[in-house]
Every structure is written in C-alpha cells, then in structure tokens.
Structure 1
Amino acid sequence: MQRLARALTEVFSPTDVVSVFLLTTGAVSDGWRGFWFAVLAALFAAVGPFAGILLATHLGKVSDHHVGNRRQRLPVLLAAMVSGVLGLVILLLLGAPHVCIVGLLSVIFGMILVGAVNAFWKLSVHVSVVTFAAVASALTLGAGFLPALLIPAAVGWSRVKLGDHTTAQVLVGIPAGCIVAVAYAVFR
C-alpha cells in the first residue's frame, strides 16, 4: 500500500496537475494556439517553480520536493507567485487566449489562498490542487470529467498513508480547491 500511496502522491503532484490542467483547457478551448500559450503558462506557474524547489532541496534550503516543513512553504509559495505573475504579464503582452489568462490567474489565486492557510497551519496542497483541477474540469469541460472527482479522495488517502498530512489537513484542502475551481468557472 505504501508504494501505491507514493505513486499517487507523485503522479498527482501539484506541478503535474497544474501543468496538465492548463495544457488541457488551453488546447480544448483554443486548439494549438491555446496549447502553446498554456505551455508558457505552465512554465511560469508550475515547471519553473518546481525547478526552483528542486534546486532549493539540493542546496538544503527546503526539506524535500513536497516542502513537507510548513515553515518552509511560505517563501516557496511567494517565489512561485512571483513567477506566476511574471508569466501572467507575458501572456497579457502576447495576447494569450482568455482561458489561459484565467487559468493562470486561478493558479495564482490558489497559491494566495493556500499560502494564507499554510502561514498558520499545514493544509494539503496536493489535495487542494487536484480538487481544483477535478472540479474546474467537470464544471467547464463537461460530464466526461465527472470521474475525476474521485481523484482527490485517492490523493488524500495517499497523503495520510505516507504520514505527510493528517486527515483534517487533507479535508481542508477540498474546500480550498473548490473555491478556486468555482472562481475559474465563473471567470472562464
């Protein structure tokens, strides 16, 4: 069971989920043009910040690539937000499709929300992000994405099984993700 929990945690990491969500919504909404702008959004919202986390982990500045130490999370989230805002400015200057702008804004909003909670308490970012992606996909892309609503439960189980979060920390990730998903759906 430990191997399954580790696999779920890695496959549904925030970096992977945000990247796939942005790429999928960009491509579905605006074809290749949307896909390429989504690649740019994912670079600034997920891939770049994750590369920074890997470097910080290698240098001993953070505990691990999931930033398990709550006290280390706020600086990481602030750096990721700066990267996201820089990406947003670039997308706006290049005339990116609306869905890519709203997607990146939603990711930044999620970072703000999760960062605010994590300043005081350790909320599950994994569960928050996967809940956002599942709910936003179901709301905006249709009923074919309803099975994705089961993924947050599996990821939450994995986070508790690995001892990275308590059940309460996982459960609080769900409404956080839902808030961001509803904002995405409204402004999309």
Structure 2
Amino acid sequence: MQRLARVLTEVFSPTVVVSAFLLTTGAVSDGWRGLWFGLLAAFFTAVGPFAGVVLATRLGKVSDHHVGNRRQRLPILLGAMVSGFCGLVLLLLLGAPRVSIVGLLSVIFGMVIVGAVNAFWKLSVHVSVVTFAAVASVLTLGSGFLPALLIPAAVGWSRVKLSDHSTAQVLVGIPAGCIVAAAYAGFL
C-alpha cells in the first residue's frame, strides 16, 4: 500500500496536474495553438517553479521536492507567483487564447489561497490542485470528466498514508480547490 500511495503522490503532484490541465484545456479549446500556449502557461506556473524547488532541495534550502516543511512553502509560492505573473504578461503580449490566460490566472489564484492557509497551517497542495483540475474539467468540459472527481479522494488517501498530511489537512484542500475551479469556470 505504501508503494501505491507514493505512486499516486508523484503521478498527481501539483506540477504534473497543473501542466496536464493547462495543456489539455489549451488543446481542447484551440488545437495546436492552444496546446502551445498551454505549454507556455505550464512552464511559468509549474515546470519552471518546480525546477527551482528541485534546485533548492539539492542545495539544502528546502526539505524535499514536495516542500513538506510548511515554513518553507511561502517563499516557494511567492516565487512561483512571480513566475506566473511573468508568464501572464507574455501570454497577453502574444495574444494567447482566453482559456490559457484564465487557466494561468486560476493557478496564481490557487497559489494565493494555498499560501494564505499555509502561512498558518499545512493544507494539502496536492489535494487542492487535483480537486481544482477535476472540478474545473467537469464544469467546463462536461460530464464525461465526472470520474476525475474520484482522483482527489485517492490522492488524499495517499498523502495521509505517507504521513505527509493529516486527514483534516487533506479535507481542507478540497474546498480550496473547489473555490479556484469555480473562479476558473466563472471567468471562461
């Protein structure tokens, strides 16, 4: 069970989920052009910041690539938000499709919510992000994505099983993700 929990945690990590969401929504809405802008949005909101986390981990500045130490999360989130805003400016200058711009803004909004909570308490970012992606997919792409709503439960189980979060920390990630998904769907 421990191995399954580790696999779920890695496969549905925030970087993977945000990247897949931005690429998929971009491609679905605008084909290859949307895929390109989704890739650009993912670079600035997920891939680039994750590369910074990996570097910080190797330099001993953060505990691990999931930034398990709550006190280390705020500077990481602030850096990711700055990167996201740089990506937003670039997307606007290049005339990106609305779905890519709203997707990037939603990820930044999610970082604000998670950062605010994590300044005081350790909310599960994994569960928050996977809930956002699942709910936003259902709201904007249709009922064919309803099975995705099971993923947050599996990821939440994995985070508790690995002792990375308490049940309460996992459960609070769900409404955080729902708030961001509602904002995403509302602005599309």
TM bucket, shorter chain: over 0.9
Once residues 24 and 31 of structure 1 are traced to their aligned partners in structure 2, the CA distance between those partners, rounded to angstroms, is: 9
Corresponding residue number in structure 1 for 2:121: 121
1:51 shift after superposition: 0.1
Q: 3-state DSSP class of the match of 2:67?
A: coil
Q: 3-state DSSP class of the match of 1:68?
A: coil
Q: 3-state DSSP class of the match of 1:123?
A: coil
Corresponding residue number in structure 2 for 1:179: 179
Letter in 2 for 1:167: T
1:95 shift after superposition: 0.4
Residues 21-64 of structure 1: CA deviation (Å, up to 9, x unaligned): 00000000011110001100000000000000000000000000
1:79 shift after superposition: 0.2
- Unaligned runs of 5+ residues in structure 1 are none
Once residues 77 and 108 of structure 2 are traced to their aligned partners in structure 1, the CA distance between those partners, rounded to angstroms, is: 10
Once residues 17 and 129 of structure 2 are traced to their aligned partners in structure 1, the CA distance between those partners, rounded to angstroms, is: 7
1:22 paired with 2:22, answer: yes
Once superposed, which parts of structure 1, at least 4 consecutive aligned residues long, lie more than 6 Å away? none
Once residues 127 and 120 of structure 2 are traced to their aligned partners in structure 1, the CA distance between those partners, rounded to angstroms, is: 18
Once residues 10 and 119 of structure 2 are traced to their aligned partners in structure 1, the CA distance between those partners, rounded to angstroms, is: 24
1:15 shift after superposition: 0.1
Once residues 115 and 30 of structure 1 are traced to their aligned partners in structure 2, the CA distance between those partners, rounded to angstroms, is: 31
Q: 3-state DSSP class of the match of 2:156?
A: helix
Write the mapping of 1:155-166 to structure 2, written as runs, cut at 5 A.
155-166=155-166
Corresponding residue number in structure 1 for 2:34: 34
Write the mapping of 1:134-173 to structure 2, written as runs, cut at 5 A.
134-173=134-173
TM value normalised by structure 2? 1.00
Corresponding residue number in structure 2 for 1:48: 48
Once residues 171 and 113 of structure 2 are traced to their aligned partners in structure 1, the CA distance between those partners, rounded to angstroms, is: 15
Residues 87-131 of structure 1: CA deviation (Å, up to 9, x unaligned): 000000000000000000000000000000000000000000000
Say how many residue pairs are matched.
188
Q: 3-state DSSP class of the match of 1:163?
A: coil
Once residues 148 and 167 of structure 2 are traced to their aligned partners in structure 1, the CA distance between those partners, rounded to angstroms, is: 20
Residues 124-181 of structure 1: CA deviation (Å, up to 9, x unaligned): 0000000000000000001110000000000000000000000000000000000000
Q: Percent identity?
A: 86
Once residues 37 and 180 of structure 1 are traced to their aligned partners in structure 2, the CA distance between those partners, rounded to angstroms, is: 20
Q: 3-state DSSP class of the match of 1:146?
A: helix
Letter in 1 for 2:22: L
TM value normalised by structure 1? 1.00
Letter in 1 for 2:104: L
Corresponding residue number in structure 2 for 1:63: 63
